[in-house]
Amino acid sequence: MEKNAAVAALAALAQESRLDVYRLLVAAGAVGMPAGQVASELGVAPNTLSFHFDRLRHAGLVSVRREGRSLIYAARFDAMNALIGYLTENCCGGMPELCGAPARFSKSTKAPLSGKAKAHV
């Protein structure tokens, strides 16, 4: 990924509502989600959502396809992985193993998960 593409992607994600939209699309997987369902799940007005979709699409983070009368938006996992790779490569001095695994978060509490299973005694 080129620096200007990384900057565009990070700028698009640097807004709370767009980040929520993107995370929802990532959770939906490759099949994507109709725009109306995204609006409903996030409680965002359709015209506002359209603006956010456009910003994410122009940054290369989402794709859109038409199915009948619906627009289906999907996260572009190739772009997400390229951004993560760009950040890891450049932020870890070319040794991504020094960065460790990405943090995982609880869906319900949004708290970081330790990644270690607790032993039951």
Could you tell me the CA-to-CA distances from 23 to 38, 64, 74, 80, 95 in Å, in that order? Answer: 11, 16, 10, 11, 27
Per residue in 62-87, pLDDT (tens digit) is: 999 999 999 999 999 999 999 988 88
Q: How many Å separate Cα 89 from the centre of its chain?
A: 19
pLDDT higher at 95 or 79: 79
DSSP class of 7: H
- Give helix 3-13 / helix 77-91 axis angle, nearest 10°: 110
Per residue in 6-26, pLDDT (tens digit) is: 999 999 999 999 999 999 999
- Work out the pLDDT band at 118, boundaries 50, 70, 90: very low
Structural domains of the chain sorted by starting position, each given as residue range(s) with its CATH number in brackets: 3-78 (1.10.10.10)
